[in-house]
Chain A
């Protein structure tokens, strides 16, 4: 099978859908003439023209709101945030407009829109440029939140997100755009809200999602050498969460570690821990552990980044703790 980069998988998802449906357009900073800050939309202006691939000023609140308005009036916008750090400038329109319009109009106005871009840390960028907001958006009813962990999933999930009739927040990573993977040439869709078992195992379950799945997989591989069989569940969507797959895995392994790049308080990890203790209490052989980013802004210095972000060593330690090893 052919191998393509994560960014190309995203581009194919958008382009395939745009070829089929003329109401879909892409809007954001540097998406058109510059071919994308991270080259995700490379060549799309050439194919679709300036009516459908639109450069904006640095005005996130305005263009997010324009997207929501357009979505309520017959179009299907894809709004790119250069990174989700900057989506905070626009968050009023995402939360107060996109997520509310269908409900507060009593079902008259749905908002088929995708807000997409990279989330979380991406090297030494300091605290304003290193934030993981997946749980923030997931907290808000009315939104769906997708966080793919590889190019194959990203393509199928983004195609479903674009076709979805509700607002979808689709969160990528600068540190995945260059990742290469086999992706079929034929079209395919991956449904939102369905987790994927990325690695089967019997001793312990690790639940994760997005870029940090790499850490979970690396830890699982290391642990295998020590004779610990890890099942890795990739949530792929954090709203809704596929609790069914998570609980089933825990019923099999009886132990759970959740790995996530957000801050700990009110994180997806802690949410899952609640659900698992409630629905699978009798199956647990140890308390659930969460590995998250430290409870501080992420500074610039590498020594502090090392002390903060989840890494394989920290995940391995947590797994051993839940295994009492």
Chain B
């Protein structure tokens, strides 16, 4: 009971309501994405964030809007959490010119400069040095901003990550490295890739402050992130946070999931991060059935609007092929 009371003091009703609505939007958006993918409205590789929502929600609440964010290809929820209207993400996946990357990136390459979301990267681990570099620029320019650089558990075995960790720590760059450890990289469990199963310990090799976090609990994510962000802002450098989480769906839309049991998936669904937030709201009588319905209908309206917007938008015209390749307007492409 004492614990619940503590929590009450730490986070306000408004905060919980915000978390709930934002996480529900991510969830419903991704469920819809899965549906329209099956209808072949969305093509290519498509990776859903369902189950992992607390990480983005707790990160957004613990950072400022000037801070920068970068992640891998499992990237629909991050920009939505940061405030990008979901219709621009849906239109991107529909390959429409109105998408946030003009239909050129698709599901794996969502970007929103306006929301300081630097993508959306498809090469496993490729964004890790980029995140350090974004932080390097903030430090160089003398801002107080930090960069949150997210990656999957599979990415930690890439050499680029270790090189970047070392330099980020040596140069005290304001970056928070977030491992979204959903226990699998495609069909490979973390245990099968190394003797080091506690991924947060990888930071210790570089004397980087590092710790595991319950990534299924938004309060825990927020608190860990808040501490890491404060460290980065005061010039004390990076932090490595291993968010322990789970993805309910397959790696991508084409994954038979032979590497795990249905029971395991069910076990995690029972600790659902969104239901936990709802339970806190209800326990404190901060929400009633009508309040829940209102949130649900707002979320539904946004998701429906996103699909409609994507459906009605046009594809890019062929001339777009030669646009956005160079910033120089008249670059002499080889055309024959």
Contact = CB atoms under 8 A, between A and B. Distances in A.
A203 interface: no
A29 interface: yes
B109 A126 contact: yes
A295 to B, nearest CB: 4
Interface in B171-188: 185-188
Contacts of B316: 299, 301, 303-304
Interface residues of A, number: 37
Contacts of B159: 59, 61-62, 89
Most buried by B among A34, A55, A88: A34
B12 interface: no
Interface stretch (B48-56, B99-107, B214-222, B224-232): B99-107
Contacts of B125: 58, 89
A295 B45 contact: no
B39 to A, nearest CB: 15
A185 B333 CA distance: 48
Interface residues of B, number: 44
A308 B333 CA distance: 13
Nearest to A85: B123
A286 interface: no
A295 B332 CA distance: 10
B186 A30 contact: yes
B291 interface: no
A300 B321 contact: no
Interface string A273-305: 000000000000000000000111101111110
Contact of A304 (B194, B320, B334): B320
Interface in B187-210: 187-188, 192-194
Contacts of B318: 303-304, 306-307
Contacts of B97: 301
A88 B192 CA distance: 24
A304 B324 CA distance: 13
B186 A29 contact: yes
Given A57-B188, A126-B104, A308 B44 contact: no
A123 interface: yes
B238 interface: no
A265 B334 contact: yes
A143 to B, nearest CB: 22
Contacts of A265: 334
> Interface residues of A: mostly helix, strand, loop or mixed?
loop
Contact of A30 (B101, B122, B188): B188
B60 to A, nearest CB: 26
Contact of B321 (A33, A126, A264, A299): A299
Contacts of B146: none
Nearest to B122: A128
A123 B188 CA distance: 25
B315 A302 contact: yes
A300 B105 contact: yes
Given A300-B105, A304-B316, A89 B43 contact: no
A86 interface: yes
B259 A33 contact: yes
A19 to B, nearest CB: 26
B187 A308 contact: no
B88 to A, nearest CB: 14
A124 interface: yes
A125 B325 contact: no
Nearest to B193: A57
Given A58-B124, A307-B318, A297 B325 contact: yes
A10 to B, nearest CB: 20
Contacts of B321: 294, 296, 299, 304, 307-308
Interface in A101-156: 123-129
A297 B103 CA distance: 13
Interface string A33-61: 11001000000000000000001011101
Nearest to B319: A307
5 contacts: A123-B44, A126-B104, A295-B333, A299-B105, A301-B103
Given A33-B192, A57-B188, A127-B104, 8 more contacts: A33-B187, A88-B123, A89-B158, A124-B95, A300-B105, A301-B97, A301-B316, A302-B43
Smallest CB-CB A-B distances: 9 pairs: A300-B106, A57-B157, A299-B104, A34-B187, A57-B193, A128-B122, A307-B318, A301-B103, A124-B43
